[in-house]
Amino acid sequence: MFWTALKRRGSRLLQSLPHDRRKELLSLLCREYIEETKTSMQYRRHAQRMRYPQFRERLLRIAEEEQKHAQWLEKRVTALGGEVPRISFAPEDGWNSWEQLRLDLDEEKRCIWDLEDQLIILDQIDPETAKLLRRILEEEINHRETITDMLIRSDPQAERPV
Ligand SMILES: [Fe+2]
Ligand SMILES: [Fe+2]
């Protein structure tokens, strides 16, 4: 339902947006797609190396949500007549679980700042895409809280998990 409506809106937008505006919108969406995909890969990798199984599970759930965000963005790009890029990425490993969570928390913070920035522009260019990014932003804020909670419960001095 949500996507059908977005797609309808997408084709209308395609006709009404000036070429350079559409290019700008597509490059913004592709940038966000790359970030979401990389984040999902990073969290999956870090989850495998988590010391505690319950942390592994929580981080894996967040990784799945990041992947879902990437899929939403890809659908929007396609609806606007664009194509998402291929991504190859080698995530940075932390020295131990605490260090990995610290890297992941930095990632969430950066992502939230970035989305808030993009929303200022998007509200003027395309309110429908802005709505999608707000949905993503809400979940990023939850991720930031979950990762902060795990970080507080972790031991910075713990041995390397693998
Ligand atoms: Fe995300
Ligand atoms: Fe996130």
Position 11 in a domain: no
CA of 74 from ligand 1 middle (Å) equals 13
Position 1 in a domain: no
Position 51 in a domain: yes
Position 136 in a domain: yes
The amino acid at residue 125 is I
Residue 14 has pLDDT above 60, yes or no: no
CA of 65 from ligand 1 middle (Å) equals 6
The amino acid at residue 112 is I
Look at residue 4 in the predicted model and tell me its pLDDT.
Answer: 59
Answer whether 76's CB lies under 8 Å from 4's CB. Answer: no
88 burial (CB, 10 Å; 0-12 / 13-18 / 19+) is: exposed
Position 123 in a domain: yes
Position 157 in a domain: no
pLDDT in tens, 84-138: 999 999 999 999 999 999 999 999 999 999 999 999 989 888 999 999 999 999 9
Position 159 in a domain: no
pLDDT in tens, 26-69: 999 999 999 999 999 999 999 999 988 999 999 999 999 999 99
- SS3 assignment, position 16: helix
For residue 142, give its domain range: 34-84+93-152
Kindly give, in sequence order, each residue whose CB lies less than 8 Å from that of residue 60, ignoring residues fewer than 6 positions away.
43, 44, 47
Position 21 in a domain: no
CATH of the domain at 146: 1.20.1260.10
Count how many domains the chain has.
1
Around ion ligand 1, residues with a beta carbon closer than 5 Å are: 36, 66, 69
CA of 89 from ligand 2 middle (Å) equals 17
Look at residue 1 in the predicted model and tell me its pLDDT.
Answer: 53
Q: What is the average pLDDT across 131-155? A: 97
Look at residue 18 in the predicted model and tell me its pLDDT.
Answer: 75
